[in-house]
C-alpha cells in the first residue's frame, strides 16, 4: 500500500467521497419536501416525522448487517447496490399515492443508505495508503456535509418550480449518474484479496468482534454524538428563533454556517489526524470547545448576529474531531472484520439520528429552547468521556501486543 501514488489515492478518495455525498443528500430527501408532502397527503407532523424515524431505523439495522456482507463479497459490489437502491427509492417516492407508499420508499432509501459507511471505510482502508488515510477520512466527512447542505437547496428549488414529484424524479438522476462514474472507475475500487475470503478466516469467528469492548465503546460514541447532531439538524433553527427573536431565514443561515464550518473543520482535522497518534485527545479538545460554545449559545447573552457566528464555531470545532474519530475506530477494529466493525459502529449514528429529534422535539414542545443547546453540550461532553476511555483502551492493547 505504501507504493500507491498520490494520483491513485486521490482517485479512490474522490470516488468514495462522491458516493458518500449522495448518501447524505438522501438523508434529507423527504425532510426537505415536508412543506409539499403535508398538504398533498393530509399528514400530521408526527406522520411526517415517522418517515424520517423509519428511514434511520431501517438504515441503522441494515448498516450492522451490511458490514457482514462487505466482509464476505467485497465493498465495491455492496457500494454499487446501495447507490442504485437510492435512485430506485426516489423513483418509488415520486410515484407514491399513499402514506404506506411513502413509508415503503423511505424503507428502500434506508436500505440503500445502510451500505455506505461499511463499504466506504473498507475501501478507504484497503485502497488508500496509510500516510493519506486521515485526509481520505477528512474528504469523506466533507462530502457528506456537502450532501446535507445541497439537498434542501436543490429539492426545495425544484419543488417550488415544478412540484415535489418532479423534485424526486430529478433527484433520482443523481445516484444513477454517480453509479455510472463508479462503474467506469471500478478498477480503482477493486476489493482487496483478503476481504474476499470468508469472514471467519484464520480461526476468527464471524461474530467474535462483538466480544470486543472497544467496538461497543465506538458504538456508544457514535450514538451519543449523533443525538447531539440530530438536535442541531432538527431543532437548532427553531430554537434560535425562540431564543434570539431572529427570523427563520436568519436562523436557517446559522445552520448553514454550522455545516460549512464543520466541513472546514474536517479539512483541518485531516492534517491533525495525520500528524498525531493521540486521536482521543484531539476529539476531547474539539468537543470541549464545541460544548462550551453551545452553553454560551444557550445563555442567550450575545446578539443575534453573534449567535450565527457561534453556530459556525461549534460546527468548526465538531468538524475537527471527524477524521480523528474515524482513525480511532480503525485502530480499534480487527483487520479481518473491518466492514463488520464499521457497520455495527456506524449503526450508532443512525440510531442517534433517529432518537435525537424525539428528545429535542419534546424540549421544544415544553417551550425549553435553551435546553436544546444545553443538551447538545451535555451529549458532546459524554462523547469526550467515551473517546478518552476508548483511546486509553486501544493504546493499552497496542502496548500489550508490541
Q: Which whole number is the average pLDDT over 43-72?
A: 85
Q: Which whole number is the average pLDDT over 293-303?
A: 93
- Are 46 and 97 in a shared domain? yes
- Are 165 and 267 in a shared domain? no
pLDDT band at 196 (very low <50, low <70, confident <90, very high): very low
Q: Quick one: pLDDT at residue 23? A: 95
Residue 334 has pLDDT above 80, yes or no: no
Q: Quick one: pLDDT at residue 295? A: 96
Number of domains in the chain: 2
- Considering Cα of 279, then 281, then 227, then 254, what sign does the dihedral take? negative
Min mean pLDDT across 13-17, 226-230, 397-401 is at: 397-401
Nearest to 81 by CA among 96, 92, 70: 70
- Are 181 and 212 in a shared domain? no
Residue 193 covered by a domain: no
Residue 305 covered by a domain: yes
Alpha helices for 197-300 (secondary structure H): 213-244, 248-274, 279-299
- Are 55 and 18 in a shared domain? yes
- Are 33 and 126 in a shared domain? yes
Angle between helices 133-162 and 304-332 (to 10 degrees): 130
pTM for this prediction: 0.76
Angle between helices 75-94 and 45-73 (to 10 degrees): 160
- Are 300 and 359 in a shared domain? yes
Residue 326 covered by a domain: yes
- Are 116 and 18 in a shared domain? yes
- Are 94 and 172 in a shared domain? yes
Name the average pLDDT for the chain. Answer: 85
Q: How many CA atoms lie within 13 A of 64 on its CB side?
A: 18
Domain limits for position 15: 9-186
Nearest to 265 by CA among 323, 208, 219, 192: 323
CA distance 263 to 107: 29
- Are 157 and 246 in a shared domain? no
Residue 101 covered by a domain: yes
- Are 160 and 214 in a shared domain? no
Residue 106 covered by a domain: yes
- Are 48 and 143 in a shared domain? yes
What CATH number is associated with residue 54? 1.20.1250.20
Judge whether 78 and 120 are in contact, CB under 8 Å: no
- Which secondary-structure segment (H or E) carries 78? helix 75-94
Residue 201 covered by a domain: no
- Are 145 and 276 in a shared domain? no
Q: How many CA atoms lie within 13 A of 305 on its CB side?
A: 0
Amino acid at each position: 500500500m505504501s507504493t500507491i501514488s498520490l494520483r491513485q489515492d486521490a482517485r479512490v478518495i474522490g470516488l468514495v467521497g462522491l458516493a458518500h455525498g449522495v448518501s447524505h443528500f438522501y438523508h434529507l430527501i423527504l425532510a426537505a419536501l415536508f412543506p409539499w408532502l403535508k398538504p398533498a397527503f393530509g399528514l400530521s407532523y408526527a406522520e411526517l416525522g415517522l418517515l424520517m424515524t423509519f428511514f434511520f431505523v431501517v438504515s441503522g439495522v441494515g448498516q450492522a448487517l451490511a458490514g457482514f456482507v462487505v466482509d464476505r463479497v467485497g465493498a465495491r459490489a455492496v457500494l454499487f447496490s446501495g447507490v442504485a437502491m437510492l435512485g430506485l427509492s426516489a423513483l418509488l417516492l415520486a410515484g407514491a399515492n399513499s402514506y404506506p407508499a411513502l413509508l415503503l420508499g423511505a424503507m428502500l432509501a434506508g436500505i440503500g443508505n445502510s451500505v455506505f459507511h461499511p463499504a466506504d471505510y473498507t475501501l478507504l482502508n484497503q485502497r488508500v495508503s496509510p500516510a493519506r488515510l486521515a485526509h481520505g477520512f477528512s474528504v469523506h466527512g466533507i462530502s457528506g456535509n456537502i450532501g446535507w447542505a445541497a439537498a434542501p437547496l436543490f429539492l426545495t428549488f425544484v419543488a417550488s418550480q415544478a412540484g415535489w414529484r418532479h423534485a424526486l424524479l430529478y433527484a433520482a438522476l443523481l445516484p444513477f449518474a454517480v453509479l455510472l462514474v463508479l462503474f467506469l472507475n471500478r478498477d480503482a475500487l477493486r476489493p482487496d484479496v483478503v476481504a474476499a475470503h470468508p469472514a471467519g478466516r484464520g480461526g476468527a469467528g464471524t461474530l467474535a468482534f462483538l466480544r470486543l469492548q472497544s467496538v461497543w465503546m465506538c458504538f456508544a460514541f457514535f450514538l451519543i454524538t449523533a443525538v447531539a447532531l440530530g438536535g442541531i439538524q432538527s431543532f437548532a433553527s427553531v430554537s434560535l428563533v425562540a431564543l434570539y427573536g431572529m427570523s427563520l431565514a436568519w436562523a436557517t443561515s446559522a445552520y448553514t454556517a454550522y455545516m460549512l464550518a464543520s466541513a472546514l473543520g474536517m479539512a483541518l482535522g485531516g492534517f491533525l489526524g495525520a500528524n498525531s497518534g493521540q486521536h482521543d485527545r484531539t476529539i476531547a479538545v474539539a468537543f470541549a470547545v464545541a460544548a462550551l460554545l453551545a452553553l454560551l449559545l444557550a445563555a442567550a447573552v450575545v446578539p443575534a448576529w453573534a449567535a450565527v457566528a457561534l453556530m459556525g464555531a461549534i460546527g468548526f470545532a465538531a468538524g475537527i474531531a471527524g477524521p480523528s474519530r474515524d482513525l480511532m475506530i480503525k485502530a480499534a477494529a480487527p483487520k479481518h472484520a473491518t466492514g463488520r466493525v464499521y457497520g455495527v459502529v456506524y449503526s450508532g449514528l443512525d440510531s442517534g439520528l433517529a432518537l435525537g429529534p424525539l428528545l429535542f422535539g419534546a424540549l421544544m414542545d415544553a417551550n425549553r429552547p435553551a435546553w436544546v443547546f444545553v443538551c447538545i453540550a451535555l451529549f458532546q461532553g459524554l462523547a469526550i468521556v467515551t473517546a478518552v476511555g476508548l483511546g486509553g483502551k486501544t493504546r493499552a492493547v497496542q502496548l500489550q501486543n508490541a
